[in-house]
Amino acid sequence: MLGKLVHRGPDAGASRSGAGWALGARRLAIIDLATGDQPVADESGAVVAVCNGEIYNYQKLREDLLARGHHLRSVGDTEVLVHLWEDYGPEMLQHLRGMFALAVLDSGRQVFFLARDRLGKKPLFWTGEAGGVTFASELKALRLALPPKPALEPGAVGSFLRFGFVPEGQCILAGVHKLPPAHWLSLNLRTGEIREERYWGLKLEPEPRVSFAQAQRELVHLLRESVRLRLRSDVPLGVLLSGGLDSGAVACLAARESASLQAITVAFGGAEEELPLARANATRAGAGLSVVEVRPEEGLGLLPKMAEVFDEPLADPSCIPTYLVAREARRLVKVVLNGDGGDEGLAGYRRFLAARLSGLPGARRWGPAAARLLPGVPAAWRERLVEGLRSGADPYLTWGPVKLTRAETASLLGGEGGSDAVPRAEGSDPVNRMRAQEIEFFLPGDLLVKMDRATMANSLEARSPFLDHELLERAATFPPSLLLRGWKTKAVLRAATAGLLPEEVRRAPKRGFEVPLASWLAGPWAGEVETVLADPAAAIRGVLAGDGLVQWRSWAQHPDRERGARAVYALLTLEHWLRRWG
């Protein structure tokens, strides 16, 4: 299994075993290059641990352990876990600040323990019944413990078509589980009992007395601290940079702590309106900037590679530029910071404005007329907003990143419309409900999968300062009125970065590594689209109904052309995934 994960850790690999158990790990050496190999054991060998990720507060934890009489032989972060387990057991997770998927074998207590970080930045798949568990960071490794042709999970296929990803709580392969974010799992080695428990949850409880100025000060303070923690590295470090607020703020704060910073960004040929803003961010940070141009022909040629990298299908077209920018970054550095999490935690997507509008008194009556007056909004999105306000449906299912409707999914699955797997969020405020759905559903299902697999495929570590759990916990107390002001999203961050970021960046609408998908599908990719949707021999015909596929040949006439393009991209993604793994 370790042989399938060399890309995640090309610097070293080892395993350790005992009566009825074995643990193994590959290592991407970032901290403690000389003595940080895994697995790591205590002095007696009774407690053994492996960890994928980074524990950013390990130095403080190490000092505390030494003060309590523990003996540590390395100066890295994984050995800290062994001794924390000795003192706290599962409660040790409350002390960790970082990204991790970890395993502990305690032969004294006869317990095997798995845990995943609070947001799900690092993946953890497992399979097994009472009496045994097999786990891995990626499906391609875990497949070695499965039958040669594992069955697909029908509900997961439906969810993929609806949302473009397989949500937490589901897996594309039957009999395989993902340990959810902020959960641990234990196996009693005596009885075979498996137990799973949640250890953290984000409470969106606004404090009405928090002022706009106070929120700005606290946000900058916490973000600066988060960036500083994530700059700890014994190898070169850079930043994945767009022309946006989030990665720009991270880059500029990192530049204040680091003597030299390398930034990497993307451009899409003619659609380069993002590039001048990325250059402005890099100039303000004093960072060198490497630009990766993403051509449609190269993107088409990468579809089989995307199926290999994302061994559970992911129909996010920005996977392509993310993979290419990670490949370029690895040529220059070994660790990158990014801006992931800012939009989810601080209400950065345009759909948050729709959610706020839907929560106003009488919105179903007067909202459609008001929506048609919104400035700077694409016509197709405005019509989606109008229809959603009329229907009163769940804002996330109406304006979120849905690829196919239930009816469209049903036509492809032969009558079954797929699952609305979005978790039901509590509370009366629709903006906060959507924030919860973004953080619990979209973030771990799409964005963090994209970043982890694209970077790890290139042996590159990615760190996300906006996803520090202490920062998120404080941001969760900011009322929506501080996040959305007028028709501006992320208002508190825009204001807080005055003087830090260029003005043109602070005023610009959200973009990111956005692929001009519709023009690619209608142009250089048209032949591939026709092959997948019309060829009777296409692999996708073994899973989906042919009549349902044929209707998507006219996707360009879809009332919402961009959503039609996303739906077709999901079908292309599934076709290439089935060719590789089905």
Task: List, in sequence order, every residue forming a beta bridge with 49; answer none if it has no partner.
Answer: 40, 104
SS3 state of residue 302: coil
Q: Do residues 174 and 230 both lie within one domain?
A: no
The answer to whether residues 328 and 182 belong to one domain is: no
**Where are the strands (E) in 348-483, listed by range?**
461-463
Q: What is the pLDDT of residue 352?
A: 93
* pTM metric for this prediction: 0.95
The pair of structure tokens assigned to 478 is 């900011």
Q: Are the CB atoms for 521 and 564 separated by under 8 Å?
A: no
Looking at the structure, tell me whether residues 117 and 61 fall in a common domain: yes
272 pLDDT above the threshold of 70: no
Supply the mean pLDDT for the chain. Answer: 92
Q: Are residues 217 and 166 in the same domain?
A: no
CATH code for position 494? 3.40.50.620
- Sort strands 98-106 and 47-55 into parallel, antiparallel or unpaired: antiparallel
Mean local confidence (pLDDT), 472-494: 95
Q: Are residues 176 and 66 in the same domain?
A: yes
pLDDT at 435: 95
The pLDDT of residue 392 is above 90:
no
Domain match, 268 and 141 both: no
Instruction: Please indicate whether residue 33 or residue 157 has the higher confidence score (pLDDT).
Output: 157
More confident: 555 or 24: 24
Q: Sorting pLDDT into bands at 50, 70 and 90, what band is 382? A: confident
> Facing residues of 463 across strands?
337
Each residue's pLDDT tens digit, 241-257: 999 999 999 999 999 99
Tell me how far apart the alpha carbons of residues 107 and 46 are, in angstroms, rounded to a whole number.
Answer: 5
Q: Burial-class residue 405 by CB neighbours within 10 Å (0-12, 13-18, 19+).
A: middle
Is 469 in contact with 93 (CB distance < 8 Å)?
no
Look at the block and give the residue holding tokens 């590594």: 513
If asked whether residues 265 and 319 sit together in one domain, one would say yes
Q: What is the pLDDT of residue 378?
A: 72
Of 507, 526, 542, the residue at which a domain comes to its end is: 507
Are 113 and 35 found together in one domain?
yes
Indicate whether 534 belongs to any domain.
yes
Is the residue at 190 inside a domain? Answer: yes
**297-301 average pLDDT score:** 95
How do residues 320-342 score in pLDDT, each as one tens digit? 999 999 999 999 999 999 999 99
Domain boundary among 149, 168, 198: 198
**170, 198, 226 - which closes a domain:** 198
Q: Which domain holds residue 177?
A: 2-198
Helix orientation angle between 350-358 and 430-437, rounded to the nearest 10 degrees: 140
Assigned domain for 13 exists: yes
Pair of tokens at residue 147: 């039958």
Q: What are phi and psi for residue 177, nearest 5 degrees?
A: -120, 150
Phi and psi at residue 564, in whole multiples of 5°?
Answer: -60, -40
> Which residues have a Cβ under 8 Å from the Cβ of 137 and sit 6 or more positions away?
5, 8, 52, 101, 122, 123, 124, 125
For position 419, what pLDDT does the model report? 64
The domain total for the chain is 3
Please check whether residues 254 and 124 belong to one and the same domain: no
With a cut of 90, say whether residue 14 has pLDDT above it.
yes
Residue 184, domain member (yes or no): yes
Q: Is residue 415 part of a domain?
A: no
Q: Would 285 be classed as within a structural domain?
A: yes
pLDDT per position as a tens digit, 68-83: 999 998 888 999 999 9
Q: Is the peptide bond before 39 cis (omega within 30 degrees of 0)?
A: yes
Is the domain of 240 the same as that of 326? yes
Q: What is the pLDDT of residues 405-459, one digit of tens each?
A: 888 898 898 876 666 678 777 788 999 999 999 999 999 999 999 999 999 999 9
Q: Do 95 and 58 fall within a single domain?
A: yes
Q: Could you tell me the CATH number of the domain that includes residue 69?
A: 3.60.20.10
DSSP string, 446-469: IIHHHHHHHHHTTT-EEE-GGG-H
| Average pLDDT over every residue of 531-560 | 87
- pLDDT at position 511 is 67
Per the domain annotation, does 156 fall within a domain?
A: yes
Determine, yes or no, domain membership for 386.
Answer: no
CA distance 23 to 114: 12
Residues 176, 32, single domain; the answer is yes
523 by Cβ neighbours in 10 Å (0-12 / 13-18 / 19+) ranks as exposed
